[in-house]
Structure 1
């Protein structure tokens, strides 16, 4: 009888013990997003397309978090254009953070050309969660929710006209003096000439933030245009070691081609949007943001990048302006070469200037100004870490790097910054109206 009593008391004590609290999974967010980045690098995904993929990969995670804690995170339905509700059936034992993480990888698996490569990441994630103490039923039900949401995200993606790009007539460069034409060494054809047709997430239309007209083309050595080209030529020929490094640091060319005799070698690198997504990941980790807020910030950053690319690509193929390399070789110095490889699309406005300025404004609104951080994005590509005092400082450096690299005229950079600032301000206003407030490290 005493033995039975002791066993009963032991059982009561064990039942009274609280279930151990499992850790917040914010530290697992960066590896999940970076896994999609590595697949994009493998696939040589172009800059506009990369921003779209990041957006959809994070959209489902955003909605899972928002529906779990609507008092803390605003659902994307409040501020995304034509956003249909994402329906989530929540089983009894599911964990929303696991579901959100798995949804990033599952959406990437479904949407990326080589998405199958993420299956190994999914397996590693689940194994690590099991080791961390999550039960099989928690993991199983969380995966079910993630798959359910990812399918709905893919339905949204199917309606943004991306699938119709390949049905457009092939782009033919204009063979005249003033317009863009493929450049050496690879003479790659125009990248995404019809990107303006993609449905935006936050802005009203592709042409909503049309910049002022670029300087008028001219061969006259006294003209403004000639002076812009001469400046590029002069700057590149007299670069300091610091300027040379800055240009290389922000190169962000997904596929650069180097030639040696008859041999061509391709180098895969991160996209401009991928660089900013990694910065966002680094800073949310540095600030120790809880999982919910980190997902919200990264999702909004991705949407901003996607719409900024739609806006700048609309202008690129409207003005269709000649690149400095082509102009300088024709009218100033036949053998001159830029430091960076000229990207395969028109010059005006500078894409990095637009997207960097836009996302830096939005991140400054959400996380604050004057946040210093160490960027290690380019370490993977054999460049050292770089310190920045704020998002805006990083964006300004990314913009001027295009002059140092010899791939943009100054007016494309400065007017691109104005364009990006307008996009960022619009997104911030939209977020405010939707109830998305500034995020503080101590909470909302």
Structure 2
């Protein structure tokens, strides 16, 4: 894994004792509210539509998980490659090494190696695609990073208000191991870019397979469209 891939995996992990993927998207939406000069009425509608989409995303993806009951990469690799030599992340600060397949582990916290529920579909992919779709439909634009809007928060801890659609991952501030060696900037020109990065971060981390990610994005977009259409009915004039 490159340092950039590790940073992406860590930034979007949203595991235990975090805001979780739905909370992460609510945090990002605060910046959109600030950019668009929302009043209370606007925010009530924005966060209602967003969280309706996130709630429905959770229902849809967990229904899929329980239906397919599909294996995680860690179980598949341990079973299929137990006695074969493979290359992978060797653990904190050990880099990429040769190891028996039975010793492979995802790039995750040592206290939370892999989620304890089925792989297919990817929750991150469904949540993120649903959120990005609902936010795009509400704001009327997919644009995210504009290089101007400040969010009013300093989540990355660099002493300045964060730019909308950007996160500065500072050198030496890795969560799972020492690193990165230099500052790495994550930037998302569009909401779809952010959602896609959140989705494939789970492949970087060894949590999901490609199919669980890609099919999850498809499901998330469908959920986002349906949830937003329903949410609008609560504020649009009735004929």
Say whether the fold is shared (TM-score over 0.5): yes
Residue matched to 2:198: 398
Matched, 1:308 2:49: no
Distance 1:402 1:428 in 2: 26
Could you say which structure has the higher helix fraction? 1
Q: Secondary structure at the match of 1:379?
A: coil
Query: Which of 90, 93, 106 does residue 338 from structure 1 map onto?
Result: 106
Residue matched to 1:247: 9
Cα offset for 1:377? 8.1
Cα offset for 1:299? 2.0
Cα offset for 1:378? 5.4
Distance 2:32 2:54 in 1: 17
Residue matched to 2:134: 362
Deviations 1:185-212 (A, max 9, x none): xxxxxxxxxxxxxxxxxxxxxxxxxxxx
1:352–1:315 Cα change, 3 Å: same
Distance 1:322 1:362 in 2: 30
Matched, 1:288 2:50: no
Cα offset for 1:269? 2.2
Cα offset for 1:298? 1.2
Residue matched to 2:145: 372
1:428–1:330 Cα change, 3 Å: same
Distance 1:398 1:343 in 2: 16
Unaligned runs of 5+ in 2: 82-100, 158-167, 171-184
Distance 2:156 2:59 in 1: 29
1:377–1:339 Cα change, 3 Å: farther
Matched, 1:409 2:209: yes
Cα offset for 1:435? 5.2
Cα offset for 1:428? 2.9
Tell whether the 8 Å contact from 1:247 to 1:404 is kept in structure 2 after alignment. Answer: yes
Deviations 1:7-53 (A, max 9, x none): xxxxxxxxxxxxxxxxxxxxxxxxxxxxxxxxxxxxxxxxxxxxxxx
Tell whether the 8 Å contact from 2:56 to 2:227 is kept in structure 1 after alignment. Answer: no
Residue matched to 1:207: none
Root-mean-square deviation (CA, aligned residues, Å) is 2.3
Matched, 1:426 2:226: yes
Deviations 1:305-363 (A, max 9, x none): 11110111111111111110011012121111110231121101000000100110010
Tell whether the 8 Å contact from 1:279 to 1:377 is kept in structure 2 after alignment. Answer: no
Distance 2:190 2:122 in 1: 21
Query: Which of 174, 183, 189 does residue 389 from structure 1 map onto?
Result: 189
Cα offset for 1:248? 0.7
Residue matched to 2:90: none
Tell whether the 8 Å contact from 1:249 to 1:378 is kept in structure 2 after alignment. Answer: no
Matches within 5 A, 1:74-223: none
Q: Secondary structure at the match of 2:156?
A: helix
The two structures have a TM-score, normalised by structure 2, of 0.71
